[in-house]
Amino acid sequence: MGEPAPGATVVYACPMHPEITSDRPDRRPKCGMKLVPAELVAAAGAEHGHEHGHGHPEPEHGHDAGGIEWEDDMVDVNRRTTPANMRWKPIDRTTGAEGAAIEWRFRVGDRVKIRIVKEMGSDHPMHHPFHIHGAVRFLILTRDGMVEPNLVWKDTVLVPTGQTVDILLDVTNPGL
């Protein structure tokens, strides 16, 4: 997908509810989902035999799919996202540093609590698996402030859009 022609009207739509449109790349007021060019949404629906969206009722608090990623309706949107129109990046809320500019320093043997927030207003609505390269394990301590009842060591956690997860990282590997 290239840039629109000068003076062309672009319509933006909710990827999960294409009937929600705007003439600006806003966020959907009800849940904060980012609106994308409607042609992407239409192409995704046509590819999957849907005229409008995914056909599932909307949950009360956003786009929760019961802990499961969307049912293929995002495939075309995912294929057409590029670094020019989508950003996956960690942000250190204390310093404002992003991605590789984050300068955390830990020592082998440290146990570090990290809060992961997948905001409703982020660029992409899907759940996102989080892991730390080079890290062997962490415990999931809480999800949205609720204590995790199953304290087992993990290397990845699926963070649904809108959820906050606190982990305890066990620093076991030296490296950058």
Give per-residue pLDDT as tens, 16-56.
777 888 888 777 766 667 777 887 777 655 544 444 334 43
Q: Is 39 helix (H, G, I), strand (E, B) or coil?
A: helix
Residue 5 has pLDDT above 50, yes or no: yes
- Cβ neighbours of residue 164 closer than 8 Å, sequence gap 6 or more: 115, 116, 117, 118, 142, 143, 144, 145
Task: Identify the bridge partners of residue 111 per DSSP, sorted by sequence position.
Answer: 170
- Predicted confidence at residue 56, as pLDDT, reads 39
Domain 99-170, architecture per CATH: Sandwich (2.60)
Q: Cite the residue boundaries of each domain of the chain with CATH code 2.60.40.420.
A: 99-170
pTM reported for the whole predicted model: 0.59
- Predicted confidence at residue 76, as pLDDT, reads 63
Query: Worst-scoring range by mean pLDDT, 113-117, 133-137, 144-148, 167-171?
Result: 133-137
Q: Is 4 exposed, middle or buried (0-12, 13-18, 19+ CB in 10 A)?
A: exposed
Highest mean pLDDT (candidates 21-30, 50-59, 85-94, 161-170): 161-170
Contact 56, 70 (CB under 8 A): no
Pick 58 or 139 by higher pLDDT: 139
- Predicted confidence at residue 160, as pLDDT, reads 83
Q: Select from 15, 29, 133, 21 the least CA-distant residue to 85.
A: 15
Q: What percent of the chain has pLDDT over 90?
A: 26
